[in-house]
A = this chain, B = another copy of it.
Amino acid sequence: MIDFGLGALPYCSFSHNDGRRRLGVGAGTGIVDVDGLARRGAISSIDPRILTRGRLNPLLAAGRPVWEALHEELSVIIREHLDTAIPQDQTAMHLAWDVGDFVDFYSSRYHAENLGRLFRPDTDPLLPNWLHLPVGYHGRAGTVVVSGTPIRRPSGQRRTPDGEIAFGPSVRLDIELELGFVLGGPTKLGEPVPIAAAAEHLFGVVLVNDWSARDIQAWEYVPLGPFLGKSFATSVSAWVIPMQTLAAARIQGPAQTEPRPLSYLRTEEPWAFDLDLEIWMRPSGVDTSTRIATVNTAKAIYWNAAQQLAHLTVNGATVRPGDLFGSGTISGPVQSQSGSLLELTWAGRDPVDVGGTLRTFLEDGDEITLRGRAGGGDVPLGPVAGKVVSSRERQFQEETP
């Protein structure tokens, strides 16, 4: 159970006794039934029908003035309805919204440099475009799942160290710690969102674990990018933290002077977020979780959310209510601040000590939980939990042609 207090006001989609999905808002360690409040006429600031569909999408479509009005009203009336809050452990949590398109960026400089050092040791760790634009790509929206969903080990093709092509369960299953941004809209085809208008479309944040099969990815990704190595599952927190709640955590990010970004990517606004994120692992057969990494997002992320949104739409691509983008793996300058096992173990060469158990990549039964707190500690983020289950047995015997 997480204690959100009364100031965070995170949204969720939950079900309780009758199984019906309802929108809720976190209050202390309980959930206030926003759907029920709307049906009973207890919410007056916005059209109550926006709140009774069991998902955030109608609210995401309604736009920032509606988001602000609802947040303000909830911050007052939640106190009156605290006695009706349902304890978190008596609910089932669902994905809080239907995901439109899912874009994954690559915006942590330390992460990009780590991968460059690992895979292109004889060259500049950053590729030529990296400091000029937020590199990103589209992921699979249909396999974004809510925290707690078991993660089946994917099978696929890989090239073995001796150059053979093999098929079977991934042997390098990894995690990626990311910050995700849930978008509202819509916008019109052909009309970019200028960076000054980014706030109109950034609804809130989730934590993201973008599970990755490094062996599948390494073999498939040239020249069109990651595909099956990522598309089997992406876990997000059940709780969506609205931007209003994170206002106090907004600070200036890293300086961008060499090179200076092109004008469509320039902003003076403090679009970095001072968030402390953590990765916890409970190895298979072990009772306790161990924290294996911590990283602060403000220092680690080079391209901020407003820049990412401005870039994403500068070609005229639309934003739909429910679109999601991720920061990409967040890593800091020190190895223990890495957002992936690939970096924490330096591609498996240096196993990490998880409370006495050594790990390189994930084993069946391992459980990963991402957690975080906004700077100052008032607002919890996450959790994003997922346990690895074994691949399907007989069909996925190892095969070489």
Contact = CB atoms under 8 A, between A and B. Distances in A.
A223 interface: yes
Contacts of A318: 142-143
Contacts of A154: 315-316
B140 A228 contact: no
A235 to B, nearest CB: 11
A85 interface: no
B228 A152 contact: no
Contact of A165 (B132, B138, B152): B132
A209 to B, nearest CB: 15
A183 to B, nearest CB: 10
Interface in A315-355: 315-320, 323
A190 B142 contact: no
Stoichiometry, copies per complex: 2
Contact of A220 (B129, B149, B226): B129
B259 A401 contact: yes
Contacts of A228: 311-312, 314-315, 317
Interface in A145-160: 145, 149, 152, 154-157, 159
A156 B314 CA distance: 7
Given A138-B227, A223-B221, A399-B263, A317 B133 contact: no
A69 interface: no
A100 B259 contact: no
A70 interface: no
A70 to B, nearest CB: 25
Contact of A189 (B104, B152, B224, B260): B152
A173 B157 CA distance: 34
Contacts of A312: 228, 231
A141 interface: yes
Contacts of A192: 155, 395
Interface in A82-122: 100-101, 103-104, 106
Contacts of A280: none
A139 interface: yes
A323 B127 CA distance: 33
A190 B152 contact: yes
A336 B301 CA distance: 47
Interface in A195-247: 213, 216, 219-229, 231-233
Contacts of A135: 220, 223-224, 227
Interface string A167-205: 100000000000000000000011110100000000000
Interface of A: 100-101, 103-104, 106, 127-129, 132-133, 135-143, 145, 149, 152, 154-157, 159, 165, 167, 189-192, 194, 213, 216, 219-229, 231-233, 259-264, 311-312, 314-320, 323, 392, 395, 399, 401
Given A129-B157, A135-B227, A231-B317, 7 more contacts: A132-B165, A133-B219, A136-B224, A142-B323, A152-B189, A152-B190, A225-B225
17 contacts: A101-B140, A101-B141, A104-B224, A127-B222, A129-B219, A132-B157, A133-B219, A137-B225, A140-B317, A145-B189, A152-B316, A155-B314, A155-B316, A194-B395, A224-B226, A228-B317, A262-B399
